[in-house]
Chains A and B, each alone.
Chain A
Amino acid sequence: MTNEEIYLRKVMGSENHFRVPDGYFDSLPSQIMAMLPEKEAQHPQPKETKRARVVSMRPWLYAAASAVIAVGFFALWKSNFTGNTAQSQPQQVATVVTSDNYLDEVADYAMFDNQDIYACLTSDL
């Protein structure tokens, strides 16, 4: 135990100063059980054969293939019929969005706050 922890235990102790309403723990289990949903009976699902799986996916496969062909034709048409568009296309600027919320979450999971980060940078740790 470090000196700081010894100091803290001397100053703080470990007494619990939080309280609960009378009878809370006596009624708690019945309250919790009353809110739990009934579990549905689990029936064994028939295993889907590989062929059945492929057959059932056919409409999706046809749709995906059609989409790929359509995109391919569009790209071909665009390259043949549009002129030099290098200047007319809008510049795509990569933006990195940082938000305080994201940085806060990172700091939380790293369990460090600004003071720790500064201390680390100045090798005070």
Chain B
Amino acid sequence: MNDRELIARLVNPKTQRKAFEQMVREYSETLYWKVRRIVLTHEDANDVLQNTFLKAWQALDSFHGDSKVQTWLTSIAIHESLDFLRRQKRMPTMSADDVDTGVANSLMADEYFDGDQTEAMLQEAIAGLPDVQRTVFMLRYYDEMRYSDISHMLNTSEGALKASYHHAVRKISEFFKRSD
């Protein structure tokens, strides 16, 4: 089913639920990985993804097909991920015992991460970027998303996104060079 047919079925109350289920089957895995790379743990990614589809369901009436379905969903997922990161920063979860547990150590202890120490350190370097810059890096580096699509999602100019991405690349490269 192409985008136009899917959208037509999504806006029709009689076919809406079935069409939404089809949309979930088609896009949930792709969205999951985008979210996971931002929030890092499986449990958090699952929560954010569920919230994403709940928001999409609630916003269906205002979706008129101005953008592709995948772009629309990805935009909601990215904003949910960023909201999650902001809430996480505001919550005092660190106890005195946790002070030295960084992202790398947490990932090495995570049963759903099978990278080595270098990979874990890379994720720590990425997690150290400002939230929006980190998101831009993830979308561009791993998903090779076009700047025009990222610009539409984050409501930021393509020039600013390119600058942000190159800063992120430079910082992470320097992180690795210092570690060598």
Q: Does A pair with B? A: yes
B114 cross-chain contacts in A, Cβ below 8 A: 17, 19
Give Cα A84 to B6, complex, Å. Answer: 73
> When the two chains form the complex, which single residue of B28, B160, B169 contacts A4, counting CB atoms closer than 8 Å?
B169
Q: Does A28 sit within 8 A of B, measured CB to CB? A: yes
Q: Closest CB of chain B to A46's CB: distance in Å?
A: 20
B119 cross-chain contacts in A, Cβ below 8 A: 17
Give Cα A92 to B97, complex, Å. Answer: 46
Find out whether the CB atom of A116 lies under 8 angstroms from the CB atom of B29.
no
Chain B CB within 10 A, most for which of A19, A31, A32: A32
> When the two chains form the complex, which single residue of A8, A17, A28, A101 contacts B169, counting CB atoms closer than 8 Å?
A8
B46 cross-chain contacts in A, Cβ below 8 A: 24
B53 cross-chain contacts in A, Cβ below 8 A: 32, 36
Chain A CB within 10 A, most for which of B42, B163, B172, B173: B173
Give Cα A28 to B60, complex, Å. Answer: 20
Main secondary structure on chain B at its contact with chain A?
helix
The count of residues in chain A whose C-beta lies closer than 8 Å to any C-beta of chain B is 38
Find out whether the CB atom of B37 lies under 8 angstroms from the CB atom of A18.
yes
Give Cα A14 to B143, complex, Å. Answer: 10
Q: Which residue of B lies closest to A119 (CB)?
A: B167
Q: Closest CB of chain A to B63's CB: distance in Å?
A: 13
Known: A17-B115, A111-B167, A113-B133. 5 other contacts (CB 8 A): A18-B37, A25-B29, A29-B24, A112-B130, A112-B167
The residues of B with any CB-CB pair to A shorter than 8 Å are 13, 16-17, 20-21, 24-25, 28-29, 32-33, 36-37, 40, 42, 46, 49-50, 53-54, 57, 60, 86, 89-90, 111-115, 119, 122, 129-133, 136, 141-142, 156, 160, 163-164, 166-167, 169-173, 176
**What are 10 A-B contacts with C-beta separation under 8 Å?**
A12-B122, A17-B113, A20-B32, A21-B112, A24-B42, A25-B28, A33-B17, A36-B57, A108-B130, A111-B130
The residues of A with any CB-CB pair to B shorter than 8 Å are 2, 4-5, 7-8, 11-12, 14, 16-21, 24-25, 28-29, 31-33, 35-37, 39, 41-42, 101, 104-105, 107-109, 111-113, 115-116
